């Protein structure tokens, strides 16, 4: 793989972006309307999380693009450019040292491909890393949306998981992509397990100071990051973590920094996962290009055609 592939992909995104109008969104509320659990997973690289699950507040007018930027920081997305119609790269300065799970290595080899273990851009996990079908995708409440991240309107309790796929545009995430076999899709090679319940519990337990919760949290991380984990293992890990949380005394609160639009503030998170945060400055807004799920798929197909030519 060469850097020219990334340049072509960026050109594709730019061409598609010009077809859509920038839509300003506004956050006028002084209190969050709810919270969405967000996680950034690189399980397919054998390295766990870039961002462990966290509850992120949303405000009136927010979209999934703003929530993602709030959770990660604009400088950590698309090589520092912030959100757009899709994510091409996420900062991962200490990444690239894991071992790709055997099930993925075998599938790539069986398809006649070769894994590229070197990151195209040091310090970032990006499109075309590891394989020609490598890239970021998102799951919303354990479903692959039919719309772009800029069209997602948050609902309290949602779980938004950004996941890096190496093989067949999500087949290594338990998603059947054989309908696009012409462009490198394939049947799922890992269990189609629902990680949302465990992801939500991890968000609530991550900052607990209780030693029992910390131990259960570490055990749950090992399970949730295993791409071969069946639903029963995930459910057992969730039950174990929930039991420890129920038995633990009220934990000491900790403080994290959350960026909200142009303003920054402190978010207080308890061991129960509750959080409060200041709203963005009144009238703060950002422009997002809206790309539907169909448009995203078309972009992937066009760029895949060029990549395989």
The enclosing domain of 140 has a CATH number of: 2.170.130.30
Say what the pLDDT of residue 117 is: 83
**Exposure b/e, 75-88, CB count within 10 A at least 16 = b:** ebbbbeebbbbbbb
- Consecutive 10-residue runs of the chain (309 residues): their mean pLDDT? 42 39 44 97 97 98 96 96 92 95 97 89 96 96 96 98 97 97 96 98 96 97 98 98 92 40 38 36 29 37 38
* Geometric angle at alpha carbon 73, from 67 and 74, rounded to 5°: 95
Q: Per the domain annotation, does 108 fall within a domain? A: yes
Alpha-carbon distance of 76 to 33, in angstroms, equals 25
In sequence order, the 6+-apart residues with CB closer than 8 A to the CB of 302 are 12
Three-state DSSP class for 149?
helix
How does DSSP classify residue 76? G
Distance set, CA 70 to CA 55, 64, 77, 244, 255 (Å): 11, 10, 11, 30, 16
Q: Per the domain annotation, does 252 fall within a domain? A: no
Say what the pLDDT of residue 251 is: 52
Phi, psi for 214 (deg, rounded to 5): -60, -40
Distance set, CA 198 to CA 33, 224, 238 (Å): 23, 7, 5
Structural domains in the chain (count): 1
Q: Per the domain annotation, does 222 fall within a domain? A: no
Say what the pLDDT of residue 209 is: 93
Q: Per the domain annotation, does 240 fall within a domain? A: no
Domain that holds residue 45: 3-192+275-308
Q: Per the domain annotation, does 201 fall within a domain? A: no
Q: Per the domain annotation, does 237 fall within a domain? A: no
Q: Per the domain annotation, does 126 fall within a domain? A: yes
Q: Per the domain annotation, does 113 fall within a domain? A: yes
């Amino acid at each position: 793989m060469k850097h020219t592939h990334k340049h072509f992909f960026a050109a594709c995104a730019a061409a598609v972006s010009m077809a859509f109008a920038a839509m300003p969104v506004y956050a006028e509320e002084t209190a969050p309307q709810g919270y969405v659990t967000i996680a950034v997973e690189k399980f397919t690289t054998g390295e766990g999380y870039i961002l462990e699950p966290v509850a992120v507040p949303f405000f009136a007018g927010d979209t999934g693009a703003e929530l993602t930027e709030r959770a990660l920081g604009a400088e950590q997305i698309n090589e520092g450019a912030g959100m757009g119609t899709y994510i091409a790269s996420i900062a991962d300065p200490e990444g690239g040292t894991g071992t790709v799970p055997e099930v993925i290595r075998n599938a790539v080899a069986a398809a006649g491909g070769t894994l590229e273990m070197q990151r195209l851009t040091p310090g970032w996990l990006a499109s075309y890393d590891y394989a020609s079908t490598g890239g970021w995708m998102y799951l919303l409440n354990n479903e692959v949306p039919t719309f772009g991240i800029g069209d997602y309107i948050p609902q309290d309790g949602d779980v938004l998981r950004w996941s890096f796929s190496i093989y067949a545009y999500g087949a290594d995430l338990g998603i059947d992509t054989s309908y696009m076999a012409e462009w490198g899709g394939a049947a799922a090679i890992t269990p189609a397990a629902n990680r949302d319940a465990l992801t939500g519990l991890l968000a609530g337990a991550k900052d607990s100071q209780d030693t029992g919760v910390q131990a259960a949290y570490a055990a749950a991380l090992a399970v949730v990051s295993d791409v071969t984990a069946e639903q029963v293992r995930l459910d057992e890990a969730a039950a174990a973590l929930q039991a420890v949380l129920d038995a633990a005394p009220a934990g000491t609160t900790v403080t994290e920094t959350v960026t909200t639009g142009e303003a920054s503030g402190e978010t207080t998170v308890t061991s129960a996962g509750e959080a409060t945060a200041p709203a963005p400055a009144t009238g703060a807004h950002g422009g997002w290009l809206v790309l539907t799920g169909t448009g995203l798929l078309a972009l992937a197909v066009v760029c895949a055609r060029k990549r395989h030519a």
